Chain A
Amino acid sequence: MTATTPQDVIADTTDPRDALPTHLPALRAFAISLTGNVALADDMVQDTIVKAWTNIESFKPGTNMRAWLFTILRNTFYSYRRKHKREQPDPEGIHAAGLYEKPAHDSKLAMTDFRVAFAKLSDEHREVLLLVGASGFSTHEAAEMIGIAEGTVKSRASRARARLCALLGMEVGEHMLDGIDGSTAAVMSKSGTQAA
């Protein structure tokens, strides 16, 4: 059953670049979450698309195209960071732009706190949490994308979560959530307490 079927041959001759549009929302979500700056993120996504388009021969058909594109995007991000060291993310700016406004959401205020805290993390911590926590990549895929060992991905993600908790004023042993059944997230209840 491993023989090459006519469909496989046809699939091999299609241009993988045809799939680029389907990855745009994920690329933007990663870039915007990573930079906290929509204009910068869209410029980086544009660079990523151009690089992917012109270097498509370095993509191996049958491998994960999204992982390949994310790798290009993160390289673009770090080279941008090296050029513009002084600029900081602007989570309030994103909020002001109305980008994240969702109607009738129960926890908008808490989410703002979360975004502000997230933006204070180091680039490496934001990156690892976005890759393994939000984008749905495996530890193995994230390790390949970042170019570090899987164990390092896990320990880095763990430190990033601990740092985020500290920034949100939460401690692991804090008596604010009781296991899994706390219907209100600890993040939410903490912020709610502060807002009250």
Chain B
Amino acid sequence: MGARMTQDEQTGKRRKQGLNHQIDENLKRVYESVLEEDVPDRFKDLLNRLRQQEGSQ
């Protein structure tokens, strides 16, 4: 067999790539829905506290 794939193999490969692409699209959507949220205040407070502790040392 040379480098040529059978039509079935090509179709299978294209389907797999399509599926992987869709999985990544879904993953990004899940991830980005959190990414777009406002960060809770507890983290700003935490960073302020850490910096103050540093200053008082």
Hey, which bits of chain A sit against chain B, CB under 8 A?
20-21, 24-26, 28-30, 32-33, 42, 45-46, 49-50, 53, 99-100, 102, 111, 114-115, 118, 129-130, 133-135, 161, 164-165, 170, 172-174, 177, 179-180, 182, 185-187
With contact pairs A42-B40, A133-B28 given, residues A26 and B19 touching in the complex (Cβ less than 8 Å): no
- B43:A24 contact, CB within 8 angstroms: yes
Return 10 A-B CB contacts under 8 Å, by A number: A26-B35, A28-B34, A28-B37, A99-B37, A114-B26, A134-B24, A161-B19, A177-B15, A177-B22, A187-B26
Q: How far is the CB of B56 from chain A (nearest CB, A)?
A: 15
Instruction: Specify which chain A residues have a CB less than 8 angstroms from the CB of B21 in the assembled complex.
Output: 180
Main secondary structure of the interface of B (DSSP, over half): helix
Q: Which of B23, B30, B32, B44 meets A165, CB within 8 Å?
A: B23
Instruction: Specify which chain B residues have a CB less than 8 angstroms from the CB of A134 in the assembled complex.
Output: 24, 27-28, 30-32
Asked if B1 CB lies within 8 Å of chain A CBs, one says: no
* Nearest neighbor of B8 in chain A, beta-carbon distance: A173
Q: How far is the CB of B19 from chain A (nearest CB, A)?
A: 6
Q: How far is the CB of B37 from chain A (nearest CB, A)?
A: 7
- A185:B22 contact, CB within 8 angstroms: yes
Instruction: Give the docked Cα–Cα distance between A26 and B39 (Å).
Output: 10
Instruction: Specify which chain A residues have a CB less than 8 angstroms from the CB of B28 in the assembled complex.
Output: 133-134
Q: How far is the CB of A104 from chain B (nearest CB, A)?
A: 14
Instruction: Specify which chain B residues have a CB less than 8 angstroms from the CB of A161 in the assembled complex.
Output: 19-20, 23
Instruction: Give the docked Cα–Cα distance between A45 and B31 (Å).
Output: 15
Instruction: Give the docked Cα–Cα distance between A153 and B47 (Å).
Output: 34
* Nearest neighbor of B15 in chain A, beta-carbon distance: A172
- B43:A114 contact, CB within 8 angstroms: no
Besides A42-B42, A53-B50, A186-B18, 17 more A-B contacts (Cβ < 8 Å) are A28-B37, A33-B30, A42-B40, A99-B37, A134-B27, A134-B28, A134-B31, A164-B23, A165-B19, A173-B12, A174-B15, A177-B18, A179-B14, A179-B15, A185-B25, A186-B22, A187-B23
